[in-house]
């Protein structure tokens, strides 16, 4: 009942936001399409590696000047299955029926549709000389992944977050993200809500090339799991006004996250 009330309240907030907004600026992108390949490997403190290949396809539209609506449909390939993806990150599966998700007795390989994501983000405050851009967002994870094959929890997750960005000096910009995720609990399990954060910077070396570095962290979702913490470095290259390529490598700094992650993606806006 509590989870239903939370979802109803958050949905009401989104509908209120969507229903109010200025006219669309005609000279700005109104549609975006992005896809990426994200490959990670780590044992997450279990002593046995899990490999995840995550390939999302995201369609975004901008019905109002400061509002973006996005839907992500991901493909997921997983080996080991010592972890399961949630809206707040990764939950480690347990060895016993002690409130954790059950870990399979043998190593398996599974693939298929992941959990579909819907996100609404609104630029609440635009960047000015001494004021950063502030963009709150709301995200819902729909349980479309097959929980019986270990591709998801089979439950809804909801995230409330805010992105803050500011040009600091010259070509250096700073970024901060804060987010709280309400984690849905499958029957017979104990999962915790998660507070996540990210802080970093980008530097425009020379147009159209930029480099970036971020430190990402969160509170653990599964009992007994270490808090995730990792560092991410990469670069982006704008081939044209509407096309951007991004590449990154992430190194895990705790047992609550993957040891290594390699990411490559592209974004089209028009």
Assess whether pLDDT exceeds 50 at residue 37.
yes
Distance CA 214, CA 147 (A): 31
Distance CA 232, CA 29 (A): 28
Instruction: Give the E-state strand segments of 87-228 in sequence order.
Output: 89-92, 109-113, 116-122, 133-142, 157-169, 172-182, 194-206, 209-218
pTM of the model: 0.87
Q: Is residue 2 packed enough to be buried (19+ CB in 10 Å), middle (13-18) or exposed (0-12)?
A: exposed
Q: Residues near 29 by Cβ (< 8 Å), separated by ≥ 6? A: 62, 242, 269, 270
104 pLDDT tier (thresholds 50, 70, 90): low
Cite the DSSP H helix spans in 28-140.
Answer: none
CB atoms within 10 A of CB 146: 15
Q: How much is the pLDDT for 21?
A: 41
| Overall residue count recorded for the chain in this entry | 270
Domains along the chain with CATH numbers: 2-269 (2.40.160.40)
> Model confidence over 207-232: pLDDT tens digits?
899 999 999 999 999 998 999 999 99
The whole-chain average pLDDT of the chain stands at 88
Average pLDDT over residues 33-44: 96
| Closest by CA position to 219, among listed 186, 192, 255 | 192
Distances (CA, A) of 97 to 84, 94, 157: 16, 7, 22
């Amino acid at each position: 009942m509590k989870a239903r009330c939370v979802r109803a309240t958050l949905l009401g907030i989104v509908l209120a936001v969507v229903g109010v907004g200025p006219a669309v600026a005609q000279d700005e992108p109104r549609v975006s399409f992005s896809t990426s390949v994200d490959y990670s490997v780590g044992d997450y403190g279990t002593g046995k590696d899990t490999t995840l290949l995550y390939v999302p396809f995201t369609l975004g539209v901008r019905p109002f000047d400061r509002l973006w609506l996005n839907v992500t449909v991901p493909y997921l390939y997983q080996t080991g299955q010592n972890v399961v993806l949630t809206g707040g990150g990764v939950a480690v599966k347990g060895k016993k029926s002690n409130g954790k998700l059950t870990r399979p007795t043998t190593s398996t390989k599974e693939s298929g549709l992941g959990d579909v994501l819907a996100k609404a983000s609104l630029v609440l405050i635009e960047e000015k000389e001494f004021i950063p851009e502030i963009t709150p967002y709301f995200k819902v994870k729909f349980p479309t992944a097959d929980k019986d094959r270990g591709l998801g929890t089979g439950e809804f997750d909801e995230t409330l977050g805010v992105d803050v960005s500011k040009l600091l000096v010259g070509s250096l910009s700073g970024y901060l993200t804060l987010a709280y995720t309400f984690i849905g609990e499958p029957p017979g399990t104990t999962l915790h809500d998660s507070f996540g954060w990210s802080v970093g910077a980008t530097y425009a070396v020379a147009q159209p090339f930029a480099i970036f570095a971020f430190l990402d962290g969160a509170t653990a979702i599964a009992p007994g799991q270490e808090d995730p913490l990792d560092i991410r470095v990469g670069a982006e290259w704008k081939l044209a006004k509407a096309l951007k390529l991004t590449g990154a490598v992430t190194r895990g700094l705790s047992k609550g996250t993957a040891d290594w992650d390699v990411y490559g993606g592209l974004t089209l806006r028009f």
